[in-house]
């Protein structure tokens, strides 16, 4: 058995965490021989609920869980972390402007970024899930100057998985037969799900998705809007936001950081845009296609970008630039 790693989940009394914690504890994320000290952080009013989650984790009798710590204190939660999964954020309420949402979250992620800077290992991998995820991630990174900005990423894997699933459903194959879809940009309705470079396995051979589907108007229309608006569709149907699928996507994202991406495959994650070759401005937290090796991601380079894609990629970059500017106004005053 290796040394235990310390893994933090914030918003640990919430519904995404409820679907996530068992998968972390049973070895499906960090491997079946990796012991874990699991740290659960939530706000003080949620501590009773969190105690219930703690009891359930104990009752799962998971051999890899060396310890579970439930707390409402940042100095306890962020100490010596190897991995921080920041799920907790201020949700959008009825009648709330996006600007108000940004302001409330800047405060949270500035504080958590500072706590990472002060207490966590410098090698910590930070994954931001709480929305607006891209800008929250950038805020946390800016507030933790001693941790490399490449260590911060935000979740767009749920969008990536949604895009894969839509293609698979349309072609009557399993999601596993579809690879190299891309989510560009913001985890919002401006995101651009791109299948120009995606491949699908049909009758044992790999074909481009455009070639396989022969339905360009669906791929440029309904497919894009379905993926962009899927989160809202789930809320409308369930009266709750995506939890099971979000937790699964977090597991995929973190597992790929830990173990790397399969040969010949790339995945989408929100990362710092510095030095990209796709004309996205530097210093944005933007979703790109990446490959991962030795816990380090690299941009997938050299993919040709057509005019349709260019327009969509620029639109979501513009939204992220505006979000960043608003957040940074609050950041200097927070």
Beta bridge partners of 182: 194
List the 5-10 sheet strands across, edge first: 65-71, 36-41, 5-10, 83-86, 125-128, 152-154, 267-272, 285-293, 296-299
- Residue 131 counted as an annotated binding residue: yes
Ligand-binding site membership of 93 (annotated): no
98 is in an annotated binding site: yes
Structure tokens at 100: 């108000």
Q: Is 42 annotated as a binding residue?
A: yes
161 known ligand binder? no
Peptide linkage before 289 cis (omega within 30 of 0): no
- What single DSSP character describes residue 185? B
Spot the catalytic one: 160, 187, 197, 253.
187
Q: Do the beta carbons of residue 156 and residue 191 sit within 8 Å?
A: yes
Known binding residue 157? Answer is no
Q: Is 187 a catalytic residue?
A: yes
Residues 136 and 68: their CA atoms lie apart, in Å, by: 26
Residue 300: burial class (beta carbons within 10 Å; 0-12, 13-18, 19+):
buried
Tokens encoding 289: 């296609």
Half-sphere exposure of 66 (CA within 13 A, CB side): 12
130 is in an annotated binding site: yes
Residue ranges at the known binding site: 42, 92, 98, 105, 129-131, 162
Residue ranges at the known binding site for substrate: 92, 98, 131, 162
Residue ranges at the known binding site for NAD(+): 42, 105, 129-131
Residues annotated catalytic, as ranges: 187
């Amino acid at each position: 058995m290796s040394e235990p790693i310390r893994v933090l989940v914030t918003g640990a009394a919430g519904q995404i965490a409820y679907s996530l914690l068992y998968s972390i504890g049973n070895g499906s994320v960090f491997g079946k021989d990796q012991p874990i000290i699991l740290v659960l952080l939530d706000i003080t009013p949620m501590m009773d609920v969190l105690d219930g989650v703690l009891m359930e984790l104990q009752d799962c009798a998971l051999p890899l869980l060396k310890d579970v710590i439930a707390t409402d204190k940042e100095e306890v939660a962020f100490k010596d972390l190897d991995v921080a999964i920041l799920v907790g954020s201020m949700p959008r309420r009825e009648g709330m402007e996006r600007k108000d949402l940004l302001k409330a979250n800047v405060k949270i992620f500035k504080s958590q970024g500072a706590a990472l800077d002060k207490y966590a290992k410098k090698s910590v991998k930070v994954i931001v899930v709480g929305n607006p995820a891209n800008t929250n991630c950038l805020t946390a990174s800016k507030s933790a100057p001693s941790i490399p900005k490449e260590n911060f990423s935000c979740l767009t894997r749920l969008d990536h998985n949604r895009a894969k699933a839509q293609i698979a459903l349309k072609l009557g194959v399993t999601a596993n037969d579809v690879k190299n879809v891309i989510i560009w940009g913001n985890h919002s309705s401006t995101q651009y799900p791109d299948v120009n470079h995606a491949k699908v396995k049909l009758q044992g051979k790999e074909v481009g998705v455009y070639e396989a589907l022969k339905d360009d108007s669906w791929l440029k229309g309904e497919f894009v809007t379905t993926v962009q608006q899927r989160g809202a569709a789930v809320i409308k149907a369930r009266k709750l936001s995506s939890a099971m699928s979000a937790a699964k996507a977090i597991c995929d994202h973190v597992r790929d950081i830990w173990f790397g991406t399969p040969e010949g495959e790339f995945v989408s994650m929100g990362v710092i845009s510095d030095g990209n070759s796709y004309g996205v401005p530097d210093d944005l937290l933007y979703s790109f296609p990446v490959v991962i090796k030795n816990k380090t991601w690299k941009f997938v380079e050299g993919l040709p970008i057509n005019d349709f894609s260019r327009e969509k990629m620029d639109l979501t970059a513009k939204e992220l630039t505006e979000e960043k500017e608003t957040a940074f106004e609050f950041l200097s005053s927070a």
